């Protein structure tokens, strides 16, 4: 065999080996691509939901606890592989900021921050998907010194966060009673204070009253010599709200979530003992301290899990926000309630 013929055969073998290598590499990449979650249509989707560590957010607490145990209520009812990511906030304004930054898709939240966010975004950012809870909030006063509305003059009253539902309701109620309040003073001082700090300040006698929600109402009563001065058991406390971008991009998924929220509320009403246990377990896990079952059971007596919703309560919250000076612009609420 000549030298040139041997060189041609050697070159041929090298080329053939290279072709085989490229073919095998292509097949391997194809297998990896098909197996990738970015390629398959049945890939797990992530849905981000906000809530507060308050008993008035019972549906979120129960569902989060079920997810923690691998028995997700929502996950098993959405009809497609979904992972829920739960995000915790102290009060409504923080949750609404998360909407504006697209950090979450839905949230359990009070109605007043929803109205404020709706106004701020000219009706383009937030929709109310369902009701969630009524009752569970109260004006709690310390000791026996405050026995009439006039006794609140000159006193310091805490609310969970500036502009949240309890903050707006507290200021509007005081104004209705003839007690002038402003952001910097007035006949009484309303000071936004995180719920955990309220209890400590109550105990230290640095607060005279607090307008807050469960379980803090019960804790102020049992641990800080508090008593309920005013409450409305029918007050709309919590709703399920959705970010418009999410609702428009994934309407079918959002509709199934709303349906699952409705059925979860029915389950909670039908199974209050297990619901209360799960609320206690989840609050204990979140706060990393043992929450008393007795505390949850007592707070539960002031709650009404309820998904009914209409625009009327939001019109009242809008009026209250105007009265206390938080809103001045004209706001149209006609598209606030989501229609799947």
Per-residue model confidence as pLDDT tens digits over 201-212: 999 999 999 999
Query: Among 207, 230, 253, where does a domain finish?
Result: 230
pLDDT of residue 288: 93
Domain match, 176 and 315 both: no
Averaged pLDDT of the chain: 88
Sequence-distant (6+) residues with CB within 8 A of 245 are 102
String of DSSP letters for 257-269? HHHHHHHHHHHHH
pLDDT of residue 29: 45
Domain match, 246 and 221 both: no
Q: Is residue 38 part of a domain?
A: no
Domain match, 157 and 299 both: no
Q: 153-196: per-residue pLDDT in tens? A: 999 999 998 988 899 999 999 999 999 998 877 999 999 999 88
Q: 252-268: per-residue pLDDT in tens? A: 999 999 999 999 999 99
pLDDT of residue 7: 45
How sure is the predictor about 17, in pLDDT bands with cuts at 50, 70 and 90? low
pLDDT of residue 228: 97
Q: What backbone torsions phi and psi does residue 226 show, to the nearest 5 degrees?
A: -95, 165
Q: 79-99: per-residue pLDDT in tens? A: 878 899 999 998 888 899 999
Domain match, 199 and 269 both: no
Domain match, 288 and 167 both: no
How sure is the predictor about 37, in pLDDT bands with cuts at 50, 70 and 90? very low
Q: Is residue 13 part of a domain?
A: no
For 153, which DSSP code? T
Domain extent at residue 167: 137-230
Q: Is residue 201 part of a domain?
A: yes
User: Tokens for 101?
Assistant: 């930054």
Domain match, 226 and 245 both: no
- For residue 77, is pLDDT > 60? yes
pLDDT of residue 34: 40
d(CA 173, CA 195): 20
- 338 neighbors 247 (Cβ within 8 angstroms): yes
Domain match, 181 and 64 both: no
d(CA 162, CA 14): 75
Q: Is residue 73 part of a domain?
A: yes
pLDDT of residue 327: 83
The pTM assigned to this predicted structure is: 0.82
């Amino acid at each position: 065999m000549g030298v040139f013929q041997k060189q041609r055969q050697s070159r041929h073998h090298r080329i053939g080996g290279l072709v085989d290598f490229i073919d095998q590499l292509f097949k391997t990449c194809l297998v990896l691509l098909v197996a990738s979650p970015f390629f398959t249509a049945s890939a797990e989707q992530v849905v981000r939901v906000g809530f507060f560590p308050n008993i008035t957010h019972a549906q979120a607490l129960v569902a989060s606890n079920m997810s923690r145990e691998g028995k997700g209520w929502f996950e098993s009812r959405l009809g497609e592989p979904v992972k829920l990511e739960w995000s915790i906030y102290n009060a409504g304004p923080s949750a609404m900021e998360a909407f504006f930054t697209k950090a979450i898709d839905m949230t359990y939240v009070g109605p007043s921050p929803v109205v404020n966010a709706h106004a701020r975004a000219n009706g383009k950012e937030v929709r109310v998907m369902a009701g969630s809870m009524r009752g569970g909030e109260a004006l709690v006063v310390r000791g026996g010194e405050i026995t009439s509305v006039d006794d609140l003059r000159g006193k310091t009253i805490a609310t969970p966060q500036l502009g949240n539902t309890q903050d707006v309701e507290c200021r509007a109620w005081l104004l209705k009673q003839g007690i002038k309040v402003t952001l910097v003073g007035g006949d009484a001082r309303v000071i936004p204070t995180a719920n955990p700090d309220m209890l400590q300040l109550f105990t230290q006698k640095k607060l005279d009253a607090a307008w807050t929600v469960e379980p803090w109402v019960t804790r102020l009563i049992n641990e800080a010599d508090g008593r309920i001065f005013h409450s409305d058991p029918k007050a709309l406390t919590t709703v399920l709200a959705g970010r418009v971008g999410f609702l428009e991009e994934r309407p079918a998924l959002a509709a199934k979530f709303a349906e699952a929220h409705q059925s979860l509320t029915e389950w909670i009403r039908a199974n209050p003992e297990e619901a209360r246990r799960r609320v206690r377990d989840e609050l204990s896990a979140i706060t990393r301290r043992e929450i008393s079952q007795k505390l949850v059971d007592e707070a539960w007596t002031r709650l009404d899990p309820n998904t009914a919703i209409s625009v009327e309560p939001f019109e009242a919250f809008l009026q209250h926000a105007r009265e206390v000076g938080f809103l001045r612009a004209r706001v149209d609420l006609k598209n606030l309630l989501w229609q799947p």
